[in-house]
Homo-oligomer: A and B are copies of this chain.
């Protein structure tokens, strides 16, 4: 009866997430989003709504892929072979490799969003704090066999803070050496 949708929703959101991640909220114009999506203005509006709604969808995609990926890595989704500290090492190495291998200085989209959009978009704030707390719990899971009680919470929070600190470093153009030292310091502390 009806004409079917001619684009894949998920890949449009993927493309839009990349634009927001690369350019930030304010510097992304609707024209950029149109170009990235391949759709035209009317269609984009009809399908997803306004710019803020698109940003929220982008953040949701980040949450479901990037954040969930990091959590899965920490919680040992790929089998119990690796110890918790090893999994943490792998995560911190990924932060460094993003810069070294891919020259990726986009930073953490959640952090960017809290600067960019949280004041204007309640949903954004929710994604940000949810992400932060899930990472916290994931670090706790990774360390649960080595520590208990307050010591566990403290070690996990330290790792969490160091993780986000390293992502800030990446975005801020810190030298690789500083990031590697931070990683080494974190791994020695657990």
Contacts and interface: CB of A to CB of B under 8 A. Distances in A.
A163 to B, nearest CB: 7
B171 A168 contact: no
Contacts of A185: 154-159, 161, 189
Interface string A146-190: 000010011111111111111011011111001101101110110
A95 to B, nearest CB: 10
Contacts of A171: 114-115
A2 interface: no
**Secondary structure dominating the interface of A:** helix
Given A150-B184, A157-B181, 20 more contacts: A26-B26, A27-B119, A112-B115, A115-B171, A118-B172, A129-B174, A132-B169, A154-B182, A154-B185, A155-B185, A156-B185, A157-B185, A158-B186, A158-B189, A160-B165, A160-B182, A161-B169, A161-B182, A161-B186, A165-B168
16 contacts: A111-B168, A112-B115, A133-B174, A136-B178, A150-B184, A154-B185, A154-B188, A157-B182, A157-B185, A158-B181, A158-B182, A158-B186, A161-B162, A161-B165, A161-B169, A161-B182
